[in-house]
């Protein structure tokens, strides 16, 4: 409060007569003090905590206008990236920088500088003085997710985790078009075993029913995929996905008018209908005024979307196994690499054409069946993963191979750091 009062006094003092002779002597002689000079003073302030400002400071006459400075636009992010990359040696093209600006939608000047510095550190640790796209991807993963925990999955759990995330990724790529996949990983973090994160390709401020349904499909893909690929069995790892799907479905049915009714349960709850407690009626709950079947409608909506998700996964069974193998081998994939594996095209870090062969399809299916048997018997997987690029994908063989193929993610150097 002392600081606030001092600031208010200084702001008001600019308009009062100043000087001892002017204020005291002239009054003693019966003369009015001279008015202060008409200064043309513009007071400007900036804060990142507007909620902490006192109302007395913001009243008209002191601070008359308030401007909110948001995040930079994509064009601004591109120019900022170009400015920082000009200061270091790099191999990024204009398309790469444009893509980087797209996948970092809320980046500020400070975060952009930090990401470029981190990419340079990654390059130097790998024995290079030029930044490549792989270095940028690794730096972005480190900044977004933090350093991964130094743990190794056993074969069947690694496969199950990769398949869980592959189901999310394939459904997101096939069904959700208002978002693009940013990164998919099975590297364990503090609160997750793996994750698939998505970002907006454009600056949008509204969302439609079809888009929310696609979000629910992506969330339910883990449950549908685990039951489909593991003979009806499922893990506790789907709990957060079910929570997200249920929350979206609840808002669709009860608040946004995207369900079978148009009633807003936010209003009915505030006025005391449907168990909300009516204001001024001593805690009574008039649940008989509206017998709502909201819970049943949410379950029916989720069940309908779950069936669509199961059908989509059945149509893309091979693509799920291909992305699963790519995640087991590389641990982390970019959205472009997932697209390459699903479509069978060359990607920035992974060559997806190698996955679309009859030989790999048969080997991937056989390996998965062996994992399911090992899962049911709580035993070890008795066969290695299918071969790609002349390199096995099992943890022991990856550790023995100190120089992975160029299209594979380099796990050894990251762990050494």
165 is catalytic: yes
- CA–CA separation, 83 vs 13, rounded Å? 43
Report which DSSP code applies to 61. T
- CA–CA separation, 95 vs 52, rounded Å? 42
How many residues are given for the chain? 417
- CA–CA separation, 274 vs 377, rounded Å? 48
Calculate ∠ Cα 411-393-147, nearest 5°. Answer: 25
- CA–CA separation, 345 vs 397, rounded Å? 26
DSSP readout, 135-175? HHHHHHHHHHH-SPP-----HHHHHHHHHHHHHHHHHHHHH
Report the side by side order of strands in the sheet with 180-185. 195-199, 180-185, 332-334
Q: Would you call 181 helix, strand, or coil by DSSP?
A: strand
Question: Which of 29, 31, 36, 66 is closest to 51 using CA atoms?
Answer: 66
Catalytic position from the list 118, 165, 226, 328: 165
- CA–CA separation, 323 vs 162, rounded Å? 8
Query: The tokens of 282 are what?
Result: 């001593």
Q: Supply the residues annotated as catalytic.
A: 165
């Amino acid at each position: 409060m002392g600081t606030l009062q001092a600031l208010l006094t200084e702001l008001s003092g600019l308009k009062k007569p100043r000087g001892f002779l002017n204020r005291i002597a002239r009054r003693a002689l019966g003369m009015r003090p001279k008015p202060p000079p008409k200064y043309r003073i513009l007071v400007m302030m900036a804060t990142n905590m507007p909620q902490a400002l006192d109302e007395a400071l913001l009243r008209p006459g002191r601070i008359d206008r308030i401007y909110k400075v948001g995040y930079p636009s994509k064009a601004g992010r591109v120019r900022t990236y170009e400015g920082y990359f000009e200061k270091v040696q790099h191999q990024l093209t204009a398309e790469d920088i444009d893509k980087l600006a797209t996948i970092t939608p809320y980046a500020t000047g400070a975060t952009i500088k930090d990401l470029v510095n981190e990419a340079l550190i990654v390059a130097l640790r790998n024995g290079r003085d030029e930044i490549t796209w792989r270095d940028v991807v690794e730096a972005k993963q480190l900044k977004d997710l933090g350093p991964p925990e130094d743990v190794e999955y056993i074969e069947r759990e690694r496969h199950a985790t990769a398949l869980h995330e592959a189901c999310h990724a394939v459904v997101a790529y096939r069904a959700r078009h208002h978002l693009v996949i940013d990164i998919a990983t099975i590297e364990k973090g503090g609160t997750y075993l793996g994750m698939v994160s998505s970002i907006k390709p454009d600056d949008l401020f509204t969302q439609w029913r079809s888009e929310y349904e696609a979000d629910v499909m992506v969330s339910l893909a883990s449950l549908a995929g685990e039951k489909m690929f593991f003979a009806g069995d499922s893990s506790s790892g789907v709990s957060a996905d079910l929570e997200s799907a249920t929350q979206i479905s609840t808002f669709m049915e009860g608040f946004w008018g995207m369900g079978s009714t148009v009633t807003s349960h936010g209003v009915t709850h505030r006025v005391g209908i449907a168990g909300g407690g009516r204001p001024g009626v001593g805690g009574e709950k008039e649940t008989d005024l509206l017998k709502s079947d909201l819970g049943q409608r949410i379950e029916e909506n989720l069940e309908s979307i779950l069936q669509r998700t199961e059908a989509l996964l059945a149509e893309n069974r091979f693509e799920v196994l291909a992305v699963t193998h790519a995640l087991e081998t590389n641990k982390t994939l970019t959205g472009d690499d997932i697209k390459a594996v699903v479509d069978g095209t060359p990607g920035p870090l992974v060559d997806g054409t190698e996955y679309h062969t009859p030989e790999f399809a048969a080997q991937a299916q056989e390996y998965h069946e062996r994992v399911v048997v090992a899962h049911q018997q709580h035993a070890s997987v008795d066969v290695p993963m299918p071969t790609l690029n002349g390199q096995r994908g099992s943890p022991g063989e990856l550790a023995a191979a100190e120089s992975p193929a160029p299209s594979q993610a380099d796990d050894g150097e990251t762990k050494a750091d």
